[in-house]
Structure 1
Amino acid sequence: MAAVTDAAGNPWFSWDYVQSNASALLAALIQHVELTAASVLIAAVLAIPLGILAYRVSWLTGPILALSSVLYTIPSLGLFAVLAPFLGLYASTVVIGLVLYALLVIVRNTLTGLNQVPVEIRDAARGMGYGKLGLLTRIELPLSLPSIMTGLRIATVSTVAMVTVGSVVGGYGGFGELILEGFRNNFYKAQIMTATIATVLLALVFDLVLALLGRLATPWSRRRAS
């Protein structure tokens, strides 16, 4: 069946659309992947050290979580609308906005993972001569890695969805560009639905890849579960 149509004959899904617009869909996919990967990577580079800082310096925990929470609550359309006049209509503008949204989840999960390291394990490590740096890098961070990976997975899936809003910046929304174009083009349902399904599938693929990487990076957790 080539299409699922409504009474007006405007198809919700059409293989003809997919086949005839394969190049546009591929370009949107590449842009969506690039924006998502860049945003989550930069967010992780910023958020994981912030989570460690919040863990090590207790009086900074509140301010760091509060600031990242405030950034997360800013409406996405409003944030991009504010950033665009100052930073221009570039992919970097979208990435900056996406990074700000991803910070909270990664910071919070990093802090949670570090706080969940058993006290007796820390005490045993100190008894073996580990200093603060060694304790962090060889004991605390490895044991908190499952929580950090969970934060990365959540941040990545939400970033995949948020990339579509980047279309308001102009040309940098991945599948969001096709969705917006579909609305402008007499509510072209096949285009809207195809881009929406592609976004959901991309989020699932990212989540599965990160879940696999998490399992590979924490073999001890698999042995403990078995």
Structure 2
Amino acid sequence: MWIVTLAASIAAAPVGGSPARGDSNLVAYWSMNEPAGSRYMYDSSGNGLHGTIGSEVVTARRLGDGYGYGFGRLEPDTPPARPQHLVAVPDYAALDPGDRDYAVSLRIRTPYQFGNVVQKGQATVAGGSFKIQIPGGKVQCWFRGSAGQVLVTGPRPINDRSWHTIICSRFRAGVALDIDGVRVAAKMGPTGTISNAWPLSIGGKTNCDQVQVGCDYFGGDLDWVRIDAAGHDW
């Protein structure tokens, strides 16, 4: 029962992840359809949570059935840091989970087995943090807040060069992971309130040097990213 409310809202979205009209739980939807050379990522939800695109991110990348962003592979823990590899959305309060049911969903394709895909905050920052990462090619959802932290891991690697839709959901009672419409992992445990002063980052960490702190850069393609939160009120 603890996984029903927000998951049902996301599942009702049209195929491809595009926002449904009147979707009151939708916080942000980045369709990643900007033209080649664009350095501005638009939020199609109507909430105005736009971001900036680093110069190393390939926009208007042909993805077979549409367009998206391409992120080149960077060697782990090899200086220098490459902030131009990232897409960043400023610290809007609406992007913080707070104490709400909260979900990050995305469509991804990669041959690699490493990297942080989406995150807000880092491991020890004040206010908590969350991220989606793919160590060993397996999707992990991690939420850390005032009441604790919960990590769930997918059972099988997804770095098979095929498209996969991922939903990482944080509920009052725990965290769940869905891949391609199937619940593949869930773990009970409260995380409490998550609210930090950091930007939302796509493609790796914003505060790193590849020496003391690895940047965990993602390599692969993203078709879209969306965030939903139950009780979201504009």
TM-score range, shorter chain: under 0.3
Q: Which has the larger radius of gyration?
A: 1
Tell me which protein shows more strand as a share of its residues.
Answer: 2
TM-score, with length taken from structure 2: 0.23
TM-score, with length taken from structure 1: 0.24
